[in-house]
Structure 1
Amino acid sequence: MNKLVNYFFRGILFVAPLAFTFLVLEAIFNWVDNLLPVDIPGLGLLIILGIIVSVGYLASTYFMKPIFEMFERFISKVPLLSLVYNSIKDLIGAFVGDQRKFNKPVIVQFDDGGNVMKPGFITQDDLSNLDLPGFCSVYLPHSYNFSGNIILVRKELIKPWDANGTDAMKFIVSGGVSHVD
């Protein structure tokens, strides 16, 4: 009976994350696929992916780049629109693109003895523009959540963490359960 229970829990450890991942991916697929009123399943998703790739290509070309930059300058002048657009752009840019922000994992020391520390990511190396020379900004993600805190901390309280940014984020978000190489 004890082995049967162990097999059951081992099966749960395999099946539950797999099922949850499938359900999340299916929900995202259906949501994106239904953005366009097309009756063929999957065609809406393919069209949207094609549009995104095309816009990315056009934004990279020599002739269209100034037009996209002009569009962004226009958006930056519209008060509420610029706040929403720039916030979303910065958030997405922190994970993908040329200016990824979560690629410098660090450990922040919170007490004088170095007994309390928290992992995070440097988002800005120098805060002299805020009249805070010797400080940098560190993002401290929360475990099991898509939120976190930004702290401004003296550079001498930060220790570089020799870890891949992705592995460090998995370690933090998993509550320290995931292994870091």
Structure 2
Amino acid sequence: MSFTSKRILNYFFKGLLFVAPLALTAYIIWQIVLFLDNLLPVPIPGLGILIVFGMITFIGYLANIFITRPIFELVERWLFRIPLVNILYTSIKDLMSAFVGDKKKFNTPAIVKLSENMSRLGFITQDNLAMIGEDEMVAVYLPHSYNFSGNCFLVPRDNVRILHGANSTEVMKFIVSGGVSELSDPKK
């Protein structure tokens, strides 16, 4: 292969490295916007998504008002009584509240010692496991690389070191990217 063709191939791969993630990100965002906009069959583009966001915000407002809060709690208690719906609803609600609720769970990054020479990054999700008789254990979520799934392990408290000053979002990005993303120095 000649010098010029190697250079052109190198330019192509550098361009691909820039364009592919940008295009894929734009495509995924566009598909999410289209999906949300098409939830309501409104002939004006963009109006459907505005109505959906407005309705969700209004329901959130109603759920916070003293007068209507008991109605939401009653509906929730009713959902808890339905066997399959209970599991599905509580799992989805717990997952959503881990990211956006008052009880965010992925805000305590930690290093978990797996063996003498090996550790993994994760997030402490439960600091107190007394309810299952494991006072010396904590629950740690270990996300998979290049995937948003993960595993929750119960590990001895002594094997977990909290990363004070570490940015939770950057640690999650670092883990999900397989360690490819850069971590910034918390002292800067």
TM-score in terms of structure 2 length: 0.91
Distance in 2 between residues matched to 1:178 and 1:143, nearest whole Å: 11
State the identity %. Answer: 52
Residue type of the alignment partner of 1:26: W
For residues 53-73 of structure 1, give each alpha carbon's deviation from its aligned partner in whole angstroms, at most 9, with x where no partner exists. Answer: 111111111211121112111
Instruction: Please identify, of 65-74 and 96-105, the stretch whose mean Cα deviation from structure 2 is larger.
Output: 65-74
Segments of structure 2 that go 5 or more residues without pairing to the other structure are none
Aligned counterpart, 1:15: 19
For residues 85-137 of structure 1, give each alpha carbon's deviation from its aligned partner in whole angstroms, at most 9, with x where no partner exists. Answer: 111101111111210100000010011x3x10001011100111101111011
Aligned counterpart, 2:102: 98
Residue type of the alignment partner of 1:85: Y
For residues 39-58 of structure 1, give each alpha carbon's deviation from its aligned partner in whole angstroms, at most 9, with x where no partner exists. Answer: 21111111101100111111
In the TM superposition, structure 1's runs of 4+ consecutive aligned residues that sit over 3 Å from their partners are none
Query: How do 1:73-112 and structure 2 match up within 5 A?
Result: 73-111=77-115
Segments of structure 1 that go 5 or more residues without pairing to the other structure are none
Residue type of the alignment partner of 1:160: I
Aligned counterpart, 1:72: 76
Aligned counterpart, 1:131: 133
In structure 1, the residue corresponding to 2:141 is in which secondary structure?
Answer: strand
Note the aligned Cα RMSD (angstroms).
Answer: 1.1
In structure 2, the residue corresponding to 1:178 is in which secondary structure?
Answer: coil
Aligned counterpart, 2:149: 147
Distance in 1 between residues matched to 2:26 and 2:152, nearest whole Å: 32
Number of residue pairs matched by the alignment: 179
Q: Specify which of 174, 177, 182 is matched with residue 174 of structure 1.
A: 177
1:34 aligns with 2:38: yes
Q: Specify which of 165, 168, 174 is matched with residue 165 of structure 1.
A: 168
